[in-house]
Each structure stands twice: as structure tokens, then as C-alpha cells.
Amino acid sequence: MDIIKTGNLKKSYMLGKVEVKALNGVDVSIQKGEFVAIMGPSGCGKSTFLNMVGMLDIPTSGEIYVEGNDVTGMSSNKRAEYRLRHIGFIFQFFNLFNELTAIENIMFPMMLNRMPNYRKNAQELLNLVGLGDRIHHLPSELSGGQQQRVTIARSLANSPKILLADEPTGNLDTKSSKEIIELFRKLNLERGQTIVMVTHSQEIGEKADRIIHFRDGIIEK
């Protein structure tokens, strides 16, 4: 079954008086449990696509189906609720809360979700990403790769249906990048986690089940 399906998805931005067509009719189907990489040149609409699927923003036209339900046209509160329950985000730049420790960063979305036992669950997620011994470290006390692993642990806090990662290795060295991809693979295999990952790197992209190529707001081939 398709966990994500988009139909003629379009998004344009106004830059002053100029209309920028970031997405120009995208039809994509992604299966539950798939690990998909999205690749393409800079500015071709990859992040925009991820933001649409993650309901950070609303499309100009077209449909997005999650598990068969059309999710476009939701109110801002409903979209927040949707993200809270079903989506995990990982961004290129480290996006942890600076004044919260590693474990608190993971507890926070759990608290937002009103989940019980959040401290114990957050600890387990930190163990899962291999940072069980760094729970009380502040982000500034962790390396880039470690921070990104905390971000991944945080993105799993709500047991999301879909994990969306926008160039998660973009700011990491080769070794850390490899570790992150291996972590994704592990999550995908062990938990059946659906992952949609944007990347620049062919080497990283090839680790996924499938690569979707974007160009100028549409899908190539």
C-alpha cells in the first residue's frame, strides 16, 4: 500500500513579482516501509517536496494522500497535529534546542505528544542511536555527527509513520555520514521505518532502496 501518494503536486512562491515554480506537477508513490532517496540539482524543489509531504507548508494545487487520505486543505492546527502524530523531521543544519540536554531534546516532542514514560523512552532512543552515555550533554558539547544522531532520535520520538530527512549528512564528514546512513538502514530494516531522504551525494543515495530524481520541479524519467 502507498503510504505517500501525490497527484500533480504544484507549489509556487512569489519572489517580488516573479513567480517561482518550485514544484510543477509531481506524481510520486512511496510504499510503506520503503527507504527512498530524492536527488537532483540545487533548487529543483527537493526541500519543497519534503515540506509539502511533512505539511510544513501547503501546496498551490494538487493532492497529497497519506495512507489513502487526502491531507491537503487541513487547517494550520490540524497540520500541526498531523506533524505531531505522524511525521519525523530531520533537517540539514543541526536543529536541536540549545538549552536542552540530549535527553531533554528527545523528551520535549514526547511531552508535546502527551506520552507517558517519556524519560525512559527518550533514554531508549538515545541508546538506539548509540548515545546512551551522552544523555546529559548539551548540543554544544556534542560533535556534529552526534548532534545529528540526537536529531534522528528526536525525530523518532513520536514513532512517526514517515521520517523525512532533508540532506541529513550535508554538514557531516564522510565517516559520520556513513554512520548516519547505516543508522537509517537499521531503522528501516528493524522497525520497518518509512524514510524519505533528500541528498546531494550519489554514494549516499545509492544506499536507499530507490532514487527519485528531481529536475526543475518535476520528476525526471
Ligand X SMILES: Nc1ncnc2c1ncn2[C@@H]1O[C@H](COP(=O)(O)OP(=O)(O)O)[C@@H](O)[C@H]1O
Stretch that binds another protein, among 1-9, 92-100, 123-131, 190-198 (CB under 8 A): 92-100
Distance from CA of residue 57 to its chain's centroid?
14
Among 1, 17, 18, 42, binds ligand X (CB under 6 A): 42
How far is it, in rounded angstroms, from Cα 41 to Cα 210?
Answer: 17
Binding mask 30-69 for Mg ion (x = CB under 5 A): -----------------x----------------------
**E strand or H helix at 109:** helix 102-112
**Length of the chain measured in residues:** 221
CB of 132 to another protein, least distance (A): 22
Neighbours of 70 (CB within 10 A): 12
**From the list ligand X, another protein, Mg ion, none, which binds 18 (C-beta under 5 to 8 Å, kind-based)?**
none
Binding to ligand X, residues 8-27 (CB under 6 A):
13, 15, 20, 22
**From the list another protein, ligand X, Mg ion, none, which binds 20 (C-beta under 5 to 8 Å, kind-based)?**
ligand X
- Enumerate residues 6+ apart whose C-beta is below 8 A from 139: 94, 96, 97, 98, 100, 102, 105, 147, 150
Q: List interacting residues with ligand X (CB under 6 A).
A: 13, 15, 20, 22, 42-48
